[in-house]
Protein backbone atom coordinates (compact mmCIF):
# COMPACT_ATOMS: atom_id res chain seq x y z
CA UNK A 1 0.00 0.00 0.00
CA UNK A 2 0.99 3.56 -0.58
CA UNK A 3 -0.45 6.57 1.17
CA UNK A 4 -0.27 9.99 -0.42
CA UNK A 5 -0.12 13.04 1.85
CA UNK A 6 -0.74 16.49 0.38
CA UNK A 7 0.89 19.00 2.69
CA UNK A 8 -1.34 21.82 1.54
CA UNK A 9 -4.43 20.04 2.85
CA UNK A 10 -2.88 17.46 5.23
CA UNK A 11 -5.22 14.96 3.59
CA UNK A 12 -4.57 11.22 3.59
CA UNK A 13 -5.37 9.30 0.43
CA UNK A 14 -4.93 5.56 -0.03
CA UNK A 15 -3.34 4.33 -3.22
CA UNK A 16 -2.65 0.79 -4.33
CA UNK A 17 0.23 -0.32 -6.46
CA UNK A 18 0.50 -3.80 -7.90
CA UNK A 19 3.60 -5.73 -8.85
CA UNK A 20 4.31 -7.79 -11.94
CA UNK A 21 6.92 -10.43 -12.36
CA UNK A 22 10.26 -9.77 -13.98
CA UNK A 23 13.82 -10.98 -13.98
CA UNK A 24 16.17 -8.05 -14.64
CA UNK A 25 16.97 -5.79 -11.75
CA UNK A 26 19.76 -4.51 -9.56
CA UNK A 27 20.34 -6.62 -6.45
CA UNK A 28 17.99 -5.94 -3.56
CA UNK A 29 15.31 -7.21 -1.22
CA UNK A 30 11.86 -8.61 -1.82
CA UNK A 31 10.06 -11.55 -3.30
CA UNK A 32 11.37 -12.46 -6.73
CA UNK A 33 7.89 -13.44 -7.96
CA UNK A 34 6.27 -10.24 -6.73
CA UNK A 35 4.13 -12.04 -4.12
CA UNK A 36 3.31 -10.35 -0.81
CA UNK A 37 4.01 -11.88 2.59
CA UNK A 38 0.86 -12.37 4.63
CA UNK A 39 0.40 -10.18 7.68
CA UNK A 40 -1.33 -12.33 10.34
CA UNK A 41 -3.71 -10.37 12.50
CA UNK A 42 -3.34 -7.31 10.26
CA UNK A 43 -0.50 -6.04 12.44
CA UNK A 44 1.30 -2.82 11.38
CA UNK A 45 4.00 -3.68 8.85
CA UNK A 46 7.55 -2.78 9.84
CA UNK A 47 9.11 -0.12 7.62
CA UNK A 48 11.31 -1.26 4.76
CA UNK A 49 15.05 -0.88 5.24
CA UNK A 50 15.61 0.33 1.68
CA UNK A 51 13.85 2.65 -0.72
CA UNK A 52 14.26 2.48 -4.51
CA UNK A 53 13.61 5.56 -6.65
CA UNK A 54 13.19 4.92 -10.37
CA UNK A 55 13.04 8.01 -12.53
CA UNK A 56 13.04 9.57 -15.97
CA UNK A 57 13.56 13.13 -17.16
CA UNK A 58 13.20 14.80 -20.54
CA UNK A 59 11.60 11.79 -22.20
CA UNK A 60 10.36 14.19 -24.89
CA UNK A 61 7.67 11.88 -26.28
CA UNK A 62 10.21 9.24 -27.31
CA UNK A 63 7.57 6.53 -27.29
CA UNK A 64 9.48 4.29 -29.69
CA UNK A 65 13.23 3.60 -29.74
CA UNK A 66 15.34 6.27 -31.41
CA UNK A 67 15.77 6.19 -35.17
CA UNK A 68 18.26 3.52 -36.25
CA UNK A 69 19.84 6.15 -38.50
CA UNK A 70 20.56 8.49 -35.59
CA UNK A 71 24.19 9.47 -35.09
CA UNK A 72 23.92 9.09 -31.32
CA UNK A 73 22.11 6.38 -29.33
CA UNK A 74 20.58 4.81 -32.44
CA UNK A 75 17.88 2.27 -31.58
CA UNK A 76 17.98 2.97 -27.84
CA UNK A 77 15.10 3.95 -25.59
CA UNK A 78 11.40 3.14 -25.95
CA UNK A 79 8.70 3.17 -23.29
CA UNK A 80 7.81 -0.51 -23.70
CA UNK A 81 11.37 -1.35 -22.65
CA UNK A 82 11.18 1.08 -19.72
CA UNK A 83 8.10 -0.80 -18.51
CA UNK A 84 10.06 -4.06 -18.55
CA UNK A 85 12.63 -2.57 -16.18
CA UNK A 86 10.07 -0.91 -13.91
CA UNK A 87 8.04 -4.10 -13.60
CA UNK A 88 11.18 -6.09 -12.85
CA UNK A 89 12.32 -3.78 -10.07
CA UNK A 90 8.86 -3.62 -8.53
CA UNK A 91 8.68 -7.41 -8.48
CA UNK A 92 11.89 -7.67 -6.50
CA UNK A 93 11.95 -4.62 -4.24
CA UNK A 94 9.67 -3.87 -1.31
CA UNK A 95 9.51 -0.07 -1.55
CA UNK A 96 9.61 1.51 -5.03
CA UNK A 97 8.59 4.96 -6.28
CA UNK A 98 8.61 5.95 -9.97
CA UNK A 99 9.06 9.66 -10.69
CA UNK A 100 9.54 12.02 -13.64
CA UNK A 101 11.46 15.31 -13.54
CA UNK A 102 9.66 17.09 -16.39
CA UNK A 103 9.49 17.41 -20.19
CA UNK A 104 7.81 14.03 -20.54
CA UNK A 105 6.23 15.41 -23.73
CA UNK A 106 7.25 17.17 -26.96
CA UNK A 107 9.78 16.00 -29.49
CA UNK A 108 8.08 13.42 -31.72
CA UNK A 109 4.98 13.32 -33.86
CA UNK A 110 3.08 11.53 -31.10
CA UNK A 111 2.77 14.76 -29.16
CA UNK A 112 2.50 17.00 -32.22
CA UNK A 113 -0.45 15.04 -33.58
CA UNK A 114 -2.12 13.50 -30.52
CA UNK A 115 -1.70 16.28 -27.92
CA UNK A 116 -0.27 14.15 -25.12
CA UNK A 117 -2.81 11.32 -25.12
CA UNK A 118 -0.13 8.68 -25.64
CA UNK A 119 2.29 10.07 -23.08
CA UNK A 120 -0.39 10.31 -20.38
CA UNK A 121 -1.50 6.75 -21.16
CA UNK A 122 2.11 5.63 -20.84
CA UNK A 123 2.43 7.26 -17.42
CA UNK A 124 -0.75 5.54 -16.29
CA UNK A 125 0.13 2.09 -17.64
CA UNK A 126 3.72 2.07 -16.39
CA UNK A 127 2.51 3.40 -13.05
CA UNK A 128 4.26 6.69 -12.43
CA UNK A 129 3.70 7.86 -8.87
CA UNK A 130 4.78 11.50 -9.10
CA UNK A 131 5.96 14.10 -11.64
CA UNK A 132 6.89 17.73 -11.95
CA UNK A 133 6.22 20.28 -14.70
CA UNK A 134 8.90 20.98 -17.32
CA UNK A 135 8.85 23.89 -19.74
CA UNK A 136 7.67 21.75 -22.65
CA UNK A 137 4.58 20.66 -20.74
CA UNK A 138 3.30 24.14 -21.70
CA UNK A 139 3.70 23.61 -25.45
CA UNK A 140 -0.02 22.98 -25.97
CA UNK A 141 -0.81 25.96 -23.75
CA UNK A 142 -2.25 25.80 -20.23
CA UNK A 143 -5.52 24.43 -21.58
CA UNK A 144 -3.62 21.59 -23.23
CA UNK A 145 -1.67 20.92 -20.04
CA UNK A 146 -4.92 20.79 -18.09
CA UNK A 147 -6.28 18.30 -20.61
CA UNK A 148 -3.18 16.13 -20.33
CA UNK A 149 -3.09 16.03 -16.56
CA UNK A 150 -6.77 15.06 -16.55
CA UNK A 151 -5.92 11.84 -18.39
CA UNK A 152 -4.33 10.13 -15.37
CA UNK A 153 -4.03 10.52 -11.62
CA UNK A 154 -0.26 10.86 -11.33
CA UNK A 155 0.55 13.29 -8.52
CA UNK A 156 2.00 16.57 -9.83
CA UNK A 157 4.23 18.84 -7.75
CA UNK A 158 5.46 22.29 -8.74
CA UNK A 159 6.76 24.47 -5.94
CA UNK A 160 7.59 27.64 -7.86
CA UNK A 161 4.87 27.73 -10.53
CA UNK A 162 1.59 29.06 -9.16
CA UNK A 163 -1.35 27.67 -11.16
CA UNK A 164 -4.10 29.10 -8.92
CA UNK A 165 -5.32 31.50 -11.63
CA UNK A 166 -5.46 28.82 -14.32
CA UNK A 167 -7.66 25.80 -15.10
CA UNK A 168 -5.02 23.70 -13.29
CA UNK A 169 -5.88 25.25 -9.93
CA UNK A 170 -6.01 22.45 -7.36
CA UNK A 171 -4.49 19.89 -9.73
CA UNK A 172 -0.85 20.79 -9.09
CA UNK A 173 0.50 20.63 -5.52
CA UNK A 174 3.36 22.72 -4.19
CA UNK A 175 4.55 19.64 -2.29
CA UNK A 176 3.46 16.09 -1.61
CA UNK A 177 4.38 13.08 0.48
CA UNK A 178 4.22 9.45 -0.54
CA UNK A 179 4.44 6.62 1.98
CA UNK A 180 5.51 3.21 0.77
CA UNK A 181 6.21 0.24 3.03
CA UNK A 182 6.44 2.53 6.03
CA UNK A 183 8.88 4.99 4.44
CA UNK A 184 7.61 8.54 4.07
CA UNK A 185 9.09 10.45 1.15
CA UNK A 186 8.47 14.16 0.65
CA UNK A 187 8.62 15.73 -2.80
CA UNK A 188 8.87 19.27 -4.12
CA UNK A 189 9.04 20.32 -7.77
CA UNK A 190 11.26 22.99 -9.31
CA UNK A 191 10.73 24.65 -12.69
CA UNK A 192 12.97 26.86 -14.82
CA UNK A 193 12.28 30.55 -15.40
CA UNK A 194 9.54 30.88 -18.01
CA UNK A 195 10.54 34.24 -19.54
CA UNK A 196 12.25 33.64 -22.87
CA UNK A 197 11.81 29.89 -22.48
CA UNK A 198 8.06 29.49 -22.92
CA UNK A 199 5.79 31.46 -25.23
CA UNK A 200 3.93 33.84 -22.87
CA UNK A 201 0.67 32.89 -24.58
CA UNK A 202 1.27 29.26 -23.61
CA UNK A 203 1.83 29.90 -19.89
CA UNK A 204 -0.74 32.67 -19.45
CA UNK A 205 -1.85 32.96 -15.84
CA UNK A 206 1.04 30.99 -14.40
CA UNK A 207 3.05 32.94 -11.82
CA UNK A 208 6.74 32.08 -11.53
CA UNK A 209 8.81 32.54 -8.39
CA UNK A 210 12.48 31.84 -7.81
CA UNK A 211 12.89 28.14 -6.96
CA UNK A 212 14.90 28.73 -3.81
CA UNK A 213 12.39 31.15 -2.24
CA UNK A 214 9.96 28.54 -0.87
CA UNK A 215 11.92 25.31 -1.24
CA UNK A 216 13.36 25.13 2.27
CA UNK A 217 10.07 26.15 3.87
CA UNK A 218 8.20 23.43 1.98
CA UNK A 219 10.89 20.83 2.68
CA UNK A 220 10.88 21.71 6.38
CA UNK A 221 7.09 21.40 6.47
CA UNK A 222 7.32 17.96 4.90
CA UNK A 223 9.79 16.82 7.52
CA UNK A 224 7.64 18.26 10.30
CA UNK A 225 4.76 16.21 8.87
CA UNK A 226 6.88 13.07 9.18
CA UNK A 227 8.88 12.79 5.96
CA UNK A 228 11.96 10.60 6.38
CA UNK A 229 13.62 12.28 3.39
CA UNK A 230 12.77 15.09 0.96
CA UNK A 231 13.50 14.83 -2.76
CA UNK A 232 13.44 17.70 -5.24
CA UNK A 233 12.22 16.84 -8.73
CA UNK A 234 14.11 19.57 -10.51
CA UNK A 235 13.72 20.93 -14.01
CA UNK A 236 16.31 23.65 -13.43
CA UNK A 237 19.21 21.98 -15.24
CA UNK A 238 22.70 20.92 -14.23
CA UNK A 239 25.70 23.14 -14.95
CA UNK A 240 29.03 21.83 -13.72
CA UNK A 241 30.64 25.24 -14.24
CA UNK A 242 28.11 27.34 -12.35
CA UNK A 243 27.02 27.73 -8.73
CA UNK A 244 24.12 30.01 -9.69
CA UNK A 245 21.00 29.25 -7.68
CA UNK A 246 18.86 28.68 -10.77
CA UNK A 247 20.87 25.51 -11.55
CA UNK A 248 20.84 22.35 -9.45
CA UNK A 249 24.30 22.81 -7.95
CA UNK A 250 23.74 26.35 -6.73
CA UNK A 251 20.22 25.53 -5.62
CA UNK A 252 21.51 22.70 -3.41
CA UNK A 253 24.12 25.02 -1.91
CA UNK A 254 21.48 27.58 -0.94
CA UNK A 255 19.12 25.21 0.91
CA UNK A 256 19.37 22.90 3.91
CA UNK A 257 16.29 20.65 4.07
CA UNK A 258 16.48 18.86 0.72
CA UNK A 259 18.21 15.47 0.77
CA UNK A 260 18.32 14.46 -2.90
CA UNK A 261 17.88 16.17 -6.28
CA UNK A 262 16.54 14.28 -9.29
CA UNK A 263 17.31 16.65 -12.14
CA UNK A 264 16.30 17.42 -15.70
CA UNK A 265 16.15 20.14 -18.37
CA UNK A 266 19.85 20.18 -19.32
CA UNK A 267 19.82 16.66 -20.82
CA UNK A 268 22.91 15.78 -18.78
CA UNK A 269 23.94 12.13 -18.59
CA UNK A 270 25.19 11.89 -15.01
CA UNK A 271 26.62 8.39 -14.89
CA UNK A 272 27.75 9.10 -11.33
CA UNK A 273 26.02 11.19 -8.71
CA UNK A 274 27.40 14.67 -8.03
CA UNK A 275 27.63 15.68 -4.37
CA UNK A 276 27.09 19.29 -3.29
CA UNK A 277 27.43 20.61 0.26
CA UNK A 278 24.29 22.40 1.44
CA UNK A 279 23.86 25.15 4.05
CA UNK A 280 23.64 22.57 6.80
CA UNK A 281 26.97 21.05 5.79
CA UNK A 282 25.36 17.87 4.41
CA UNK A 283 26.24 16.24 1.10
CA UNK A 284 23.30 16.38 -1.35
CA UNK A 285 23.48 13.99 -4.35
CA UNK A 286 22.34 15.27 -7.75
CA UNK A 287 21.36 12.72 -10.41
CA UNK A 288 19.98 12.91 -13.98
CA UNK A 289 19.35 10.41 -16.80
CA UNK A 290 20.08 12.62 -19.83
CA UNK A 291 17.09 12.51 -22.17
CA UNK A 292 14.76 10.51 -24.43
CA UNK A 293 14.52 7.47 -22.14
CA UNK A 294 17.92 6.14 -23.17
CA UNK A 295 18.46 5.24 -19.50
CA UNK A 296 16.20 4.61 -16.54
CA UNK A 297 17.50 6.25 -13.38
CA UNK A 298 17.91 3.95 -10.37
CA UNK A 299 18.77 5.09 -6.87
CA UNK A 300 18.62 3.00 -3.71
CA UNK A 301 18.56 4.59 -0.26
CA UNK A 302 19.41 2.58 2.85
CA UNK A 303 17.14 4.07 5.48
CA UNK A 304 19.24 2.63 8.32
CA UNK A 305 22.43 4.43 7.29
CA UNK A 306 23.52 8.04 6.91
CA UNK A 307 25.90 9.99 4.69
CA UNK A 308 27.21 8.70 1.39
CA UNK A 309 27.04 5.09 2.57
CA UNK A 310 23.25 5.14 2.52
CA UNK A 311 23.00 5.93 -1.18
CA UNK A 312 23.75 4.12 -4.44
CA UNK A 313 22.91 5.21 -7.97
CA UNK A 314 23.23 4.06 -11.55
CA UNK A 315 21.72 4.48 -14.98
CA UNK A 316 20.13 1.32 -16.40
CA UNK A 317 20.45 1.15 -20.20
CA UNK A 318 17.18 0.93 -22.12
CA UNK A 319 18.00 -1.11 -25.20
CA UNK A 320 17.13 -4.13 -27.34
CA UNK A 321 18.19 -6.73 -24.73
CA UNK A 322 14.77 -6.10 -23.16
CA UNK A 323 12.70 -6.73 -26.29
CA UNK A 324 11.96 -10.41 -25.61
CA UNK A 325 10.28 -9.44 -22.34
CA UNK A 326 8.07 -6.60 -23.55
CA UNK A 327 4.53 -6.63 -22.18
CA UNK A 328 2.51 -7.44 -25.31
CA UNK A 329 -0.67 -6.01 -23.86
CA UNK A 330 1.09 -2.68 -23.34
CA UNK A 331 2.67 -2.89 -26.79
CA UNK A 332 -0.77 -3.38 -28.33
CA UNK A 333 -2.05 -0.28 -26.54
CA UNK A 334 0.76 1.75 -28.13
CA UNK A 335 0.10 0.18 -31.51
CA UNK A 336 -3.53 1.24 -31.24
CA UNK A 337 -2.40 4.85 -31.20
CA UNK A 338 0.29 4.60 -33.84
CA UNK A 339 -0.98 2.23 -36.55
CA UNK A 340 -2.85 4.78 -38.68
CA UNK A 341 -0.56 7.65 -37.75
CA UNK A 342 2.52 5.80 -39.00
CA UNK A 343 1.03 5.48 -42.47
CA UNK A 344 1.07 9.25 -42.77
CA UNK A 345 4.37 9.75 -41.00
CA UNK A 346 6.24 7.25 -43.16
CA UNK A 347 5.46 9.22 -46.34
CA UNK A 348 8.71 9.90 -48.23
CA UNK A 349 8.98 13.57 -49.15
CA UNK A 350 12.48 13.82 -50.60
CA UNK A 351 16.12 12.81 -50.29
CA UNK A 352 19.00 14.11 -48.17
CA UNK A 353 22.47 13.21 -49.52
CA UNK A 354 24.36 13.86 -46.25
CA UNK A 355 23.32 14.10 -42.61
CA UNK A 356 22.37 17.62 -41.50
CA UNK A 357 23.03 18.61 -37.89
CA UNK A 358 22.70 21.86 -35.99
CA UNK A 359 25.72 23.61 -34.51
CA UNK A 360 27.46 26.90 -33.80
CA UNK A 361 28.52 29.24 -35.23
CA UNK A 362 26.92 27.41 -38.14
CA UNK A 363 25.31 24.03 -38.61
CA UNK A 364 24.18 22.48 -41.86
CA UNK A 365 20.70 21.86 -40.49
CA UNK A 366 20.35 25.46 -39.32
CA UNK A 367 21.63 26.83 -42.61
CA UNK A 368 19.18 24.70 -44.55
CA UNK A 369 16.26 25.58 -42.27
CA UNK A 370 16.87 29.35 -42.46
CA UNK A 371 17.30 29.26 -46.24
CA UNK A 372 14.13 27.17 -46.55
CA UNK A 373 12.27 29.77 -44.49
CA UNK A 374 13.20 32.47 -47.03
CA UNK A 375 11.72 30.43 -49.89
CA UNK A 376 8.62 29.52 -47.87
CA UNK A 377 8.16 33.19 -46.93
CA UNK A 378 8.15 34.10 -50.62
CA UNK A 379 5.50 31.45 -51.30
CA UNK A 380 3.38 32.21 -48.22
CA UNK A 381 3.46 36.00 -48.06
CA UNK A 382 4.62 36.93 -51.57
CA UNK A 383 7.56 38.81 -50.05
CA UNK A 384 11.29 38.17 -50.20
CA UNK A 385 12.63 38.93 -46.70
CA UNK A 386 15.97 40.56 -46.08
CA UNK A 387 16.88 37.57 -43.91
CA UNK A 388 15.46 34.66 -41.93
CA UNK A 389 16.35 33.54 -38.44
CA UNK A 390 15.30 30.61 -36.27
CA UNK A 391 16.91 29.19 -33.12
CA UNK A 392 18.97 26.08 -32.47
CA UNK A 393 16.68 25.24 -29.56
CA UNK A 394 13.80 24.94 -32.01
CA UNK A 395 15.59 22.28 -34.09
CA UNK A 396 14.99 19.14 -32.06
CA UNK A 397 16.68 16.40 -34.11
CA UNK A 398 19.18 15.86 -36.89
CA UNK A 399 18.19 14.93 -40.44
CA UNK A 400 19.94 11.65 -41.34
CA UNK A 401 21.20 10.97 -44.84
CA UNK A 402 18.69 9.10 -46.97
CA UNK A 403 14.94 9.36 -47.33
CA UNK A 404 13.32 12.43 -45.85
CA UNK A 405 10.06 11.26 -44.31
CA UNK A 406 7.29 13.31 -42.78
CA UNK A 407 8.14 11.83 -39.38
CA UNK A 408 11.72 13.12 -39.61
CA UNK A 409 10.56 16.63 -40.44
CA UNK A 410 8.11 16.52 -37.53
CA UNK A 411 10.94 15.41 -35.23
CA UNK A 412 13.06 18.40 -36.26
CA UNK A 413 10.18 20.90 -36.10
CA UNK A 414 7.75 19.42 -33.54
CA UNK A 415 6.36 22.68 -32.16
CA UNK A 416 3.07 24.31 -33.11
CA UNK A 417 4.98 27.32 -34.42
CA UNK A 418 3.75 29.61 -37.16
CA UNK A 419 6.00 31.29 -39.73
CA UNK A 420 6.10 35.03 -39.09
CA UNK A 421 7.08 37.94 -41.32
CA UNK A 422 7.92 41.06 -39.35
CA UNK A 423 9.18 44.52 -40.18
CA UNK A 424 11.71 46.00 -37.78
CA UNK A 425 14.02 48.99 -37.64
CA UNK A 426 17.73 48.54 -38.26
CA UNK A 427 18.35 49.45 -34.62
CA UNK A 428 16.37 46.36 -33.61
CA UNK A 429 18.37 44.28 -36.08
CA UNK A 430 21.58 45.40 -34.41
CA UNK A 431 20.19 44.40 -31.00
CA UNK A 432 19.26 41.02 -32.47
CA UNK A 433 22.77 40.41 -33.78
CA UNK A 434 24.22 41.45 -30.42
CA UNK A 435 22.01 38.81 -28.79
CA UNK A 436 22.89 35.96 -31.13
CA UNK A 437 26.58 36.87 -30.87
CA UNK A 438 26.43 36.07 -27.16
CA UNK A 439 25.37 32.56 -28.17
CA UNK A 440 28.17 32.38 -30.77
CA UNK A 441 25.56 32.19 -33.49
CA UNK A 442 22.05 31.01 -34.35
CA UNK A 443 20.64 29.80 -37.69
CA UNK A 444 20.41 32.69 -40.18
CA UNK A 445 19.90 32.72 -43.93
CA UNK A 446 22.44 33.21 -46.67
CA UNK A 447 23.27 36.86 -47.37
CA UNK A 448 24.00 37.60 -43.73
CA UNK A 449 27.66 38.24 -42.91
CA UNK A 450 28.21 38.29 -39.17
CA UNK A 451 31.66 38.26 -37.60
CA UNK A 452 31.77 37.51 -33.86
CA UNK A 453 34.69 38.10 -31.52
CA UNK A 454 34.60 37.33 -27.80
CA UNK A 455 30.82 37.02 -27.87
CA UNK A 456 30.35 40.46 -29.43
CA UNK A 457 29.55 41.71 -32.93
CA UNK A 458 32.77 42.52 -34.74
CA UNK A 459 30.95 43.41 -37.96
CA UNK A 460 27.63 42.62 -39.62
CA UNK A 461 26.17 43.10 -43.08
CA UNK A 462 23.04 42.02 -44.90
CA UNK A 463 23.26 41.63 -48.64
CA UNK A 464 26.75 43.07 -48.52
CA UNK A 465 25.60 46.33 -46.91
CA UNK A 466 25.99 47.75 -43.41
CA UNK A 467 22.78 47.86 -41.35
CA UNK A 468 21.23 51.31 -41.19
CA UNK A 469 19.60 51.92 -37.76
CA UNK A 470 16.73 53.94 -39.29
CA UNK A 471 16.00 51.66 -42.24
CA UNK A 472 13.11 49.15 -42.12
CA UNK A 473 13.98 45.49 -42.68
CA UNK A 474 11.81 42.45 -43.36
CA UNK A 475 12.66 39.41 -41.23
CA UNK A 476 11.19 35.93 -41.54
CA UNK A 477 11.16 34.10 -38.23
CA UNK A 478 9.04 31.95 -35.89
CA UNK A 479 6.11 33.28 -33.90
CA UNK A 480 7.73 31.96 -30.71
CA UNK A 481 10.69 34.31 -31.20
CA UNK A 482 8.39 37.28 -31.73
CA UNK A 483 5.89 36.41 -29.00
CA UNK A 484 8.60 36.02 -26.38
CA UNK A 485 10.60 39.04 -27.65
CA UNK A 486 13.51 36.68 -28.19
CA UNK A 487 16.49 38.58 -29.61
CA UNK A 488 14.37 41.79 -29.33
CA UNK A 489 12.19 40.61 -32.21
CA UNK A 490 9.04 41.52 -30.30
CA UNK A 491 9.82 45.17 -31.14
CA UNK A 492 8.34 44.96 -34.63
CA UNK A 493 6.52 47.54 -36.75
CA UNK A 494 4.23 45.08 -38.55
CA UNK A 495 3.65 41.34 -38.49
CA UNK A 496 2.01 38.58 -40.52
CA UNK A 497 1.63 34.96 -39.39
CA UNK A 498 1.16 31.91 -41.57
CA UNK A 499 -2.05 29.90 -41.32
CA UNK A 500 -0.20 26.58 -41.32
CA UNK A 501 2.29 25.34 -38.76
CA UNK A 502 5.97 25.34 -39.66
CA UNK A 503 6.27 21.54 -39.78
CA UNK A 504 3.57 21.41 -42.47
CA UNK A 505 5.17 24.27 -44.41
CA UNK A 506 8.55 22.50 -44.31
CA UNK A 507 7.01 19.21 -45.48
CA UNK A 508 5.37 20.99 -48.44
CA UNK A 509 8.68 22.73 -49.18
CA UNK A 510 10.58 19.43 -49.33
CA UNK A 511 7.99 17.97 -51.68
CA UNK A 512 8.39 20.99 -53.96
CA UNK A 513 12.16 20.59 -53.89
CA UNK A 514 11.76 17.00 -54.98
CA UNK A 515 9.32 17.91 -57.75
CA UNK A 516 11.85 20.41 -59.10
CA UNK A 517 14.72 17.90 -58.98
CA UNK A 518 16.40 19.39 -55.90
CA UNK A 519 17.57 17.62 -52.76
CA UNK A 520 17.67 18.57 -49.12
CA UNK A 521 21.23 19.77 -48.74
CA UNK A 522 23.23 22.66 -47.33
CA UNK A 523 26.77 23.97 -47.12
CA UNK A 524 28.90 26.19 -44.91
CA UNK A 525 29.61 29.75 -46.03
CA UNK A 526 30.53 33.12 -44.55
CA UNK A 527 27.16 33.88 -42.93
CA UNK A 528 28.58 33.58 -39.40
CA UNK A 529 32.27 33.51 -38.48
CA UNK A 530 33.82 33.49 -35.02
CA UNK A 531 37.11 35.35 -35.10
CA UNK A 532 40.13 34.31 -33.03
Q: 443, 486 in Cβ contact below 8 A? A: no
Q: How many domains does the chain have?
A: 2
- Contacts of residue 328, defined as CB under 8 A and 6 or more positions apart, other chains included, come to none
The pLDDT value recorded for residue 18 is 34
* Assigned domain for 21 exists: no
Same domain, 330 and 365: no
Residues 428-441 have a mean pLDDT of 95
Domain boundary among 306, 339, 372: 339
For residues 211 and 301, membership in a common domain is answered with: yes
In this prediction, residue 47 carries a pLDDT of 82
Percentages of the chain per state (helix, strand, coil), in multiples of 5: 30, 25, 45
Q: Identify the CA nearest to 477 among candidates 411, 408, 364, 394.
A: 394
Query: Within a domain: residue 421?
Result: yes
Among 315, 339, 363, the domain-final residue is 339
The model's pTM is 0.88
Predicted local distance difference test score (pLDDT) of residue 36 = 36
CATH of the domain at 77: 3.60.21.10
Mean pLDDT of 365-373: 98
User: Is residue 41, in this structure, part of any structural domain at all?
Assistant: no
Q: What CATH number does residue 387 fall under?
A: 3.90.780.10
Any domain includes 24: no
* 220-233 tens-digit pLDDT: 999 999 999 999 99
The pLDDT value recorded for residue 44 is: 59
At 43, the pLDDT band (50, 70, 90 cuts) reads low
**φ, ψ for residue 458 (rounded to 5)?**
-85, -40
Task: Give the HSE-up count for residue 494: Cα atoms under 13 Å, Cβ half-sphere.
Answer: 5
Q: Please tell me whether residues 218 and 319 are part of one structural domain.
A: yes
Share of the chain above pLDDT 90, in %: 88
Which of helix, strand or coil describes residue 307? helix
Instruction: Show contacts of 153-157: CB within 8 Å, 24+ apart.
Output: 153/124, 154/123, 154/124, 154/128, 154/129, 154/130, 155/4, 155/129, 155/130, 155/131, 155/187, 156/130, 156/131, 156/132, 156/189, 157/130, 157/131, 157/132, 157/187, 157/188, 157/189, 157/233
In terms of residue numbers, what domain contains 299?
2-16+47-339
CB 332 within 8 A of CB 408: no
Q: Which band of pLDDT confidence, cut at 50, 70 and 90, is reported for residue 66?
A: very high
Mean pLDDT, the chain, whole residue set: 91
109 has pLDDT over 80: yes
27 pLDDT above the threshold of 60: no
Counting every residue written for the chain, the total comes to 532
**Does a structural domain hold residue 367?**
yes
Mean pLDDT of 267-291: 97
Predicted confidence band of residue 129 (pLDDT cuts 50, 70, 90): very high
Q: Check whether residue 123 and residue 92 sit in a common domain.
A: yes
Contact 268, 284 (CB under 8 A): no
Q: Does residue 351 share a domain with residue 286?
A: no
**One domain, residues 234 and 181:** yes
pLDDT digits (tens, 9 = 90+) for 393-421: 999 999 999 999 999 999 999 999 999 99
Map 392-433 to HEC letters.
HHHCCCCECCEEEEHHHHHHHCCCCCEEEEEEEEHHHHHHHH
Average pLDDT over residues 18-38: 37
Residues 361 and 335 in one domain: no
d(CA 286, CA 54): 14
Which of residues 339, 360, 380 is at a domain's end?
Answer: 339
Residues 188 and 247 grouped into a single domain: yes
Q: Domain check: are 333 and 355 in the same one?
A: no
Report yes or no on 172 lying in a domain: yes
Contact criterion met (CB below 8 Å) for 172 and 205: no
Q: Is 151 within a domain?
A: yes
Report, as an integer, the average pLDDT of 72-81: 97
Closest CA relative to residue 191, chosen from 158, 168, 219: 158
- Same domain flag for 262 and 377: no
pLDDT category of residue 45 using cuts at 50, 70 and 90:
low
DSSP 8-class letter at 92: H
At residue 340 the predicted structure's pLDDT band, cuts being 50, 70 and 90, is confident
The pLDDT of residue 26 is above 60: no
- Direct distance between the N- and C-terminal alpha carbons of the chain, in angstroms, rounded to an integer: 62
Q: Give Cβ neighbours of residue 433 (< 8 Å, ≥ 6 apart).
A: 450, 457, 460, 467
The Cα 172–Cα 165 span in angstroms is 12
Same domain, 116 and 225: yes
Task: Give yes or no for a contact between 54 and 89, defined as CB atoms under 8 angstroms apart.
Answer: yes
Claim to verify: residue 155 and residue 212 sit in the same structural domain: yes
Q: Is the pLDDT of residue 462 over 70?
A: yes
pLDDT in tens, 349-368: 999 999 999 999 999 999 99
pLDDT confidence band for 346 (50 / 70 / 90): very high
pLDDT of residue 201: 93
The verdict on residue 83 lying in a domain is yes
Amino acid sequence: MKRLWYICSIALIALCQGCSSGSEMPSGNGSQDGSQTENPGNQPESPADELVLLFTNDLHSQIEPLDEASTYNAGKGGVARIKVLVDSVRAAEKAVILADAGDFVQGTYYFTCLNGDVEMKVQKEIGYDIRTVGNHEFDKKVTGLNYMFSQNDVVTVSSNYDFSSTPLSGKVQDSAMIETSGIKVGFIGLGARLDGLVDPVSCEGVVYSYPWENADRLAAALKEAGADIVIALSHLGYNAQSDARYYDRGFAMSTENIDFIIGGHSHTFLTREVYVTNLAGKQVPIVQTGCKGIYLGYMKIDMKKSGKERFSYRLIPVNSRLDSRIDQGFASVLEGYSAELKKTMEEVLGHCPATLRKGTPQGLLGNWAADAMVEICEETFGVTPDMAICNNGGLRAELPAGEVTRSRIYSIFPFDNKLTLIEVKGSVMLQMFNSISRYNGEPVSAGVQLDIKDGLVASVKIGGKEISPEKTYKVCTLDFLSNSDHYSLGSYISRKDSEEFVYELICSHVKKLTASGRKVEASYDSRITVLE
